């Protein structure tokens, strides 16, 4: 099993380019089956989640290729609408294909999805929304069997702005006669990216950025050549790394507004941040002072996908901090591993109480999920001695070439 070996204490300095967003690319790949023409996606990250999604599409009969960040999908040969258990368990985003398959095939069967073990993440919002669209759904112990033969446009209001449900329901609505309205929809940049690609394919979708998606049905969609938006979570991870290591890095291919929830916190913690076009430069000039409270929320609030990394930074900061996780009930698993490195963290329910200890100590830890694994790498970068991070297949789900990138910035890290 692969692992990272990190010798901490090096300053990070240099430039890196951020590739396309995992969470966007997965949704765009799902949308690729909405047309029988070729879809080309550029700047895709070479990560295991993308590989698994391409395997799922291949299993449905699509012809897929991946070369130097460019994915081409030809779904004209699509010959199935069933995602089996072993395949679905590999990746949470397999559920995003449900709406697209119903639009394309009218029927679909999908096993309950897998992904990171960070909480229940129920798909009841997906099911409720599809039923409002007239989709008949039979729930078995292991799978959902859906029939959209009599689907129709509808108005709905989501009980929470679920990212996955919003994406699924938009894709399930693109061919329905009339107007579908999804109120209280998620507004994450990745969903806006999906909206933009669908529009480029000939769909009539608007309003996502305002929290009220409006979809007017069309007869068909055509192919598209589309570039995935930059990954704000990967960008944020490396910004936090530089802040922890008192470094100076420049990230290319970023969108300033997508990072503001994080950069506002970093700017208050002895970091100087400047922007120029699609670049952001961070200079850390000292040990951070922990904010009293950080709460995660739906976009544009602080992203849950950066909570674990921020937690790692707070362990070495000055003072106390309370981190409140409002989206997932089991996303403090990294805290147990950070305590092995000397962190002072107490978890009570949805809150983690952190008392900065100034310095961590290297030891052997295990990645329990994608973002928590990244947090342990960041902790290793500043710890005394050697840190070994095991089970890094979790990290491979969302970060391409993490070790080579960090080495290019001056870190002492290798993959074994």
Indicate the pLDDT class of residue 395, thresholds 50, 70 and 90: very high
Taking residues 216-230, report their average pLDDT.
98
Which tens digit of pLDDT belongs to each residue from 71-89? 999 999 999 888 876 666 6
What would the two tokens of residue 410 be? 């001056």
From the candidate CATH numbers 1.10.1740.110, 3.30.428.10, 3.65.10.10, 3.30.360.10, the one assigned to the domain spanning 22-227:
3.65.10.10
What pTM was computed for the model? 0.96
Which tens digit of pLDDT belongs to each residue from 156-177? 999 999 999 999 999 999 999 9
Which tens digit of pLDDT belongs to each residue from 307-346? 999 999 999 999 999 999 999 888 899 999 999 999 999 9
Q: How many CB atoms lie within 10 A of CB 86?
A: 9
Q: How many CB atoms lie within 10 A of CB 264?
A: 11
What pLDDT score does 123 carry? 84
**pLDDT at 143 exceeding the cut of 90:** no
What would the two tokens of residue 377 be? 């790498």
116 closest CA partner among 91, 144, 86? 91
Going by C-beta distance under 8 Å and a sequence separation of 6 or more, which residues neighbour residue 213?
166, 169, 170, 181, 182, 185, 195, 205, 206, 207
CA dihedral 245, 317, 230, 172 (to 10 degrees): 150
**pLDDT at 118 exceeding the cut of 60:** no
Query: Which of the residues are catalytic?
Result: 116
What pLDDT score does 119 carry? 42
What would the two tokens of residue 205 be? 């979708």
User: Residue 313 phi/psi, 5° resolution?
Assistant: -65, -40
192 closest CA partner among 213, 172, 178, 165? 213
Residue with tokens 């913690």: 269
Provide the β-strand partners of residue 324. 295, 351
User: Residue 27 phi/psi, 5° resolution?
Assistant: -70, -40
Taking residues 234-248, report their average pLDDT.
97
Cβ–Cβ under 8 Å, residues 27 and 191: yes
| Residue 314 Cα distances to 23, 34, 245, 298, 304, angstroms | 26, 44, 13, 21, 15
Average pLDDT, the chain: 94
What pLDDT score does 88 carry? 67
What pLDDT score does 89 carry? 66
What pLDDT score does 116 carry? 47
Q: Assess whether the region 4-18+230-415 and the region 22-227 belong to the same CATH fold.
A: yes
- Cα-Cα-Cα-Cα dihedral sign, residues 253, 257, 258, 264: positive
Which tens digit of pLDDT belongs to each residue from 187-215? 999 999 999 999 999 999 999 999 999 99
Whole-number CA gyration radius for the chain: 21
What pLDDT score does 95 carry? 81
Going by C-beta distance under 8 Å and a sequence separation of 6 or more, which residues neighbour residue 349?
none
Q: How many CB atoms lie within 10 A of CB 337?
A: 23
Indicate the pLDDT class of residue 46, thresholds 50, 70 and 90: very high
What pLDDT score does 91 carry? 65
Q: Which CATH superfamily, name and number, covers 4-18+230-415?
A: Enolpyruvate transferase domain (3.65.10.10)
207 Cα distance to chain centroid = 22
Cβ–Cβ under 8 Å, residues 171 and 30: yes
What would the two tokens of residue 28 be? 């765009």
**pLDDT at 120 exceeding the cut of 50:** no
What pLDDT score does 269 carry? 78
DSSP string, 66-131: EETTEEEEE-TT----EE-HHHHTT-GGGGGHHHHHHHHHSEEEEEPP----SS----HHHHHHHH
Domain ranges of the chain: 4-18+230-415, 22-227
């Amino acid at each position: 099993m692969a692992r990272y070996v990190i010798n901490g204490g090096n300053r990070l300095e240099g430039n890196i380019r951020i590739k396309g967003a995992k969470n966007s690319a997965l949704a765009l790949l799902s949308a690729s089956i909405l047309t029988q023409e070729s879809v080309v996606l550029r700047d895709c990250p070479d990560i295991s989640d993308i590989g698994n999604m391409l395997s799922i599409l291949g299993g449905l009969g699509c012809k897929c290729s991946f070369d130097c960040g460019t994915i081409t999908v030809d779904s004209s040969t699509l010959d199935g609408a069933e995602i089996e258990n072993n395949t679905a368990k590999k990746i949470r985003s397999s559920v995003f294909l449900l709406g697209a398959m119903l639009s394309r095939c009218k029927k679909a069967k999908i096993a309950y999805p897998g992904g990171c073990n960070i909480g229940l993440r129920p798909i009841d919002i997906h099911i409720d929304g599809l039923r409002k669209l007239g989709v008949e759904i039979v729930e078995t112990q292991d799978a959902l069997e859906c029939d959209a033969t009599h689907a129709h446009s509808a108005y709905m209001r989501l009980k929470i702005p679920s990212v996955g449900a919003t994406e699924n329901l938009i894709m399930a609505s693109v061919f329905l006669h009339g107007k579908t309205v999804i109120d209280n929809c998620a507004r994450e940049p990745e969903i806006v990216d999906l909206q933009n690609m669908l529009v480029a394919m000939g769909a009539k979708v608007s309003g996502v950025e305002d929290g009220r998606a409006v979809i007017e049905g069309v007869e068909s969609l055509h192919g598209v050549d589309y570039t995935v938006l930059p990954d704000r979570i990967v960008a944020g991870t490396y910004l936090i790394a530089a802040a922890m290591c008192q470094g100076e890095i420049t990230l290319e291919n970023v969108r300033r507004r997508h990072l503001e929830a994080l950069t506002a916190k970093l700017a208050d913690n002895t970091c100087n941040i400047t922007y120029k076009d699609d670049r952001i430069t961070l200079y850390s000039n000292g040990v951070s002072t922990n904010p009293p409270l950080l709460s995660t929320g739906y976009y544009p609030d602080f992203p849950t996908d950066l909570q674990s990394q921020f937690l790692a930074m707070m362990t070495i900061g000055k003072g106390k901090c309370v981190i409140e996780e409002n989206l997932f009930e089991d996303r403090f698993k990294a805290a147990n591993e950070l305590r092995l490195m000397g962190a002072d963290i107490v978890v009570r329910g949805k809150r983690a109480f952190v008392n900065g200890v100034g310095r961590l100590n290297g030891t052997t830890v295990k990645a329990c999920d994608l973002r928590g694994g990244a947090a342990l790498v960041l902790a290793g970068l500043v710890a005394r001695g050697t840190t070994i991070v095991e089970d890094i297949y979790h990290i491979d789900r969302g970060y391409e070439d993490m070790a080579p990138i960090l080495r290019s910035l001056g870190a002492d890290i290798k993959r074994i």
